[in-house]
Amino acid sequence: MLFALVIFFGLAETMMRMANKDVYSDDYDGKMILSKIKVSSDKDIVYEPEDGWKDLKKYPKEKPENTFRILMLGDSVTEAPNIIRQSRKFKYIIRKNISDLSDKNIELLTVALPGYSTVQEVAVFRRYFREHELDLVIVNFISNDLYSYPFYKKENIDGTEKYVFFSKKYRQIPLLRKNPLYMLFVKKSVFFRFVNERAYNIYEKFAGEKEIKHLDLNKDSTARAIYNLKLMSREDNFELMFAYIPSMDIKKQVEQDKVNRGINDIEVRDWLKKVLNSMKITFFDMVPILMEYDNVETLVNYRVAHPSEEGHKIIAKEMLDFLIENKLVPIG
């Protein structure tokens, strides 16, 4: 019996690898650092590109004459590894369109990696880009910034309020996370990861709110990061704007009364809007726009659950219109 199971798993693993069916593929060449961080400290540390942030090398701290400089913060939606041609990503469409309408030279710097949260984005900004002359900082906020890892768990060490950064590369059933044999199979076996993903989907349906037990801590650390960024915008004299980008097929979710992997985009939007209003931060909301859009299926690449090229066009158009209407970018 044991021999038959070994043969079965061996064949299944071989077939999965030959078919390249790994449900967990790396979207970027990054290094993951497990570290204790203090959210309000200049010593925040997060995972970052192996070769560093390219825009640090590309753009000097001082702006060239007659230049308008934008910094965009975000995660995989902003980085868009699923969009092959750079010119079709919404951030570069926006830069080109502003350049076409402005007499100034437009520079766009980005801090974005798959899996990033607002807390990490602000930490990277503080550590690496604080000394750069900036005119506008745009934070692209995605609903899973509050729901998915990394979580920041509050601890009191020597009377100091600290947070612990957790990396969650694989979705794991909580009761099994500390089992070394389970983790070994998750890390080494493509077939086991396939089975684990299906098992986790079943678990999610029954777990409900239990899996989101760190949500309040995430809200706390995210609000702190937003407040810190607001303070820096005052001190360094740049405009600050948050753009809320929900699931591109949110209209379909609302009509079917479903949420995406336990994430309620409307609830996250309402929470973020309340926080930003209390701090008087400019807020661009994609929800009403997408609720009026008919062909929502064309806006999503369902294979990677990210905006498609058509989705990037919509984001670029609507965000550009908002920037112009609110006089956040130089036109003419």
pTM over 0.75, yes/no: no
The pair of structure tokens assigned to 153 is 């768990």
- The HSE-up count of residue 63 (CA atoms within 13 Å, CB side) is 17
Q: Is 45 exposed, middle or buried (0-12, 13-18, 19+ CB in 10 A)?
A: middle
Residue 27 Cα to chain centre, angstroms: 13
Return per-residue pLDDT of the chain as tens, 332 residues: 777 777 877 887 777 777 655 443 333 222 333 233 333 333 444 566 766 788 888 999 999 999 999 999 998 888 888 888 888 899 999 999 999 999 999 999 998 887 788 888 888 898 889 999 999 999 999 888 876 544 343 444 344 444 333 334 445 566 666 677 776 776 677 777 777 767 766 665 665 444 444 566 577 778 888 999 999 999 999 999 999 998 887 877 776 666 555 567 888 899 999 999 999 999 999 999 988 888 778 888 877 778 888 989 999 999 999 999 999 999 88
User: Three-class SS of residue 72?
Assistant: strand
Q: Which domains does the chain have, with CATH numbers?
A: 2-325 (3.40.50.1110)
Candidates 150, 184, 190; CA nearest to 169 is 150
- Measured between its terminal Cα atoms, the distance across the chain in Å is 76
Region at 30 (left for phi over 0; alpha for psi -120 to 50; beta for the rest): beta
